[in-house]
Structure 1
Amino acid sequence: MGRAFEIRRGAKEKRWGKMSKLFPKLGKSITMAAKEGGDDPEMNAKLRAAIATARAENMPKDNIDKAIARATAKDAVSYTEINYEGKGPHGVLIWVECATDNNTRTFSNIRTVFNKNGGGLLPTGGLEFMFTRKSVVKFKKPEDKDLEEIELELIDHGLEEMEDLGEEVVVLGDFTSFGSLSKAVEELGLELTKAAPERIANNSAEFSEEQITEIEVLIDKLEDDEDVQNVFTNIA
């Protein structure tokens, strides 16, 4: 994933917020989590994490409540999670996670974006062993707690790696430890800013600034699609 990509991704998320594109994506994540595991955040770790991420992006409480309510509404839309794997300019590997109510539309849109921006889709499973699914939990760096003590506490809950990013701290763990790890962060009194499974490249690749600029055109187009929830690459 790489620090540079995290910074770029963060900047993109802020742009989404200003363009009112981030909230619908966050709302869809909340609705799907509530439909999957129930509408009680105390009993549903995935929903609790989705709500925490939405709050960190300043999503209004009313929007969050409506997203939860949509999960049990009589006319609730059923979303299917579907992944697309592809290559972009200069051979960059790209994994796209989508949530859609129309697979045909989503496939057509994603394929078009790849084809028009120097890339192409790969057969399903083509990148399966190139990325590893990890639990990624972020929290605001505390002023009154020692990070080493926090790290020791979280090891028992699945922590594999922790990195101080300055204002935030990011924790990586095995995918199966997501619920335990995110809950442990909350129980330590830390302010959760994001908690979600992510796909991290097993082997990252270096690209020049000029190449990354070209690659970002494709990534931005993918992220702008309403059905796309996440885009992961092997950029170092």
Structure 2
Amino acid sequence: MAGHSKYKNIMYRKGAQDKKRSAAFSKLSREITVAAKMGTPDPDMNPRLRAAVNAAKAQSMPKDNIQRAIDKAARGDAENYEEIRYEGFGPGGVSLIIEALTDNRNRTATNVRTAVSKNGGNLGASGSVSHGFDRMGLISYPASAGDAEKVFEAALDAGAEDVESSDEGHEIWTSNESLHEVVKAITPVLGEPEGAKLAWRPQTMVDVGEDDAGLLFKLIDTLDDDDDVQQVWGNYEVSDAVMEKLG
């Protein structure tokens, strides 16, 4: 999951995902396999695969699991996964973009629609909310990569467009076209990133109150539990006071 509501809220979601390591590894394996199948199985020559492998390593996915996913694609016996994007609205009028990798479009569509409708939301047509987001590159680093000034200067020199830093880590935003060039330029300075991928950055945020926030996080949890759903993006803003009440 990656809603965009300051890092504390992202970490709230991450805490829930940490309890589902097996499911997380399954999704990471799927992304690695798809990336390797779409290009060369060599991470050094395949930017998407390299990003997927780095994300897997950041989640402490065993090396054997990573290599197994790559080999599966290289042998040509991997499942044929289709990339699908769903758009809609969650509790409190929050805009949601749901990205999936699936080998069964009907199953995934049914599961996503059910999860959204049962948790205070509704799906819309393609393009119904994505116009309110910018398609950008997102590079993630832990706080240990350096202080905000160091990361900002490194990102600026590498050609990034924006940086958001907090006590938990750093998010570096780039144009979608320059994502991998920025990663290549910034890695010698900050090291390998925890993640580097195309993302949806909201243009405006929606402030969500306690009641809607609880239901929204329940919806996102339900979507996260679906093996086909890879990422959920949202334009919600939840205050620290509300986050503390939610625990």
Q: Which residue of 2 aligns with 1:233?
A: 234
Residue 140 of structure 1 aligns to which amino acid in structure 2?
Answer: P
Decide whether the 8 Å contact of 1:140 with 1:191 is kept in 2. no
1:2 aligns with 2:9: no
Q: Is the 8 A contact 1:5 1:235 kept in 2?
A: no
SS, match of residue 203 in structure 1: coil
Instruction: Tell me how far apart the structure 1 counterparts of residues 89 and 76 of structure 2 sit (CA, whole Å).
Output: 40
1:81 and 2:87 matched: no
When normalised by structure 2's length, the TM-score is: 0.87
- Structure 2 spans left out of the alignment, 5+ residues: 238-247
Task: Give the aligned residue type for 2:64.
Answer: D
The aligned residue for residue 11 of structure 1 is 15
Aligned to 2:244: none
Question: TM-score normalised to the size of structure 1?
Answer: 0.91
**Pairing 1:157-196 to 2, within 5 Å after superposition:** 157-196=158-197
Q: Distance in 1 between matches of 2:78 and 2:159?
A: 35
Percentage of identical aligned residues: 36
Note the aligned Cα RMSD (angstroms): 1.8
For residues 42-57 of structure 1, what are the structure 2 equivalents within 5 Å?
Answer: 42-57=44-59
Q: How far apart in 2 are the matches of 1:83 and 1:62? A: 30
In structure 2, give the amino acid aligned to 1:164: S
Contact 1:157–1:177, Cα closer than 8 Å, also in 2: no
Equivalent residues, number: 233
Whether contact under 8 Å (1:53, 1:193) holds in the other structure is: yes
Would the aligned equivalents of 1:158 and 1:174 in 2 still touch at CA under 8 Å?
A: no
Listed as ranges, the gaps of 5+ residues in structure 1 are none
Q: Which whole-Å CA distance do the structure 2 matches of 1:194 and 1:136 have between them?
A: 8
Report the counterpart of residue 125 of structure 1 in structure 2. Answer: 127
Q: Could you list the per-position Cα deviations for residues 98-142 of structure 1 after superposition, in whole angstroms to 9, with x for gaps in the alignment?
A: 001111111111111112222211011111211112211112345
Q: How far 1:146 moved relative to its partner? A: 6.5
Q: Distance in 1 between matches of 2:150 and 2:220?
A: 38
* 1:61 alignment partner, one of 54, 60, 63: 63
Corresponding residue to 1:32 among 5, 14, 34: 34
Matched ranges for 1:196-207 at <5 A: 196-207=197-208
Q: 1:73 to 1:85 in 2, by over 3 A?
A: same
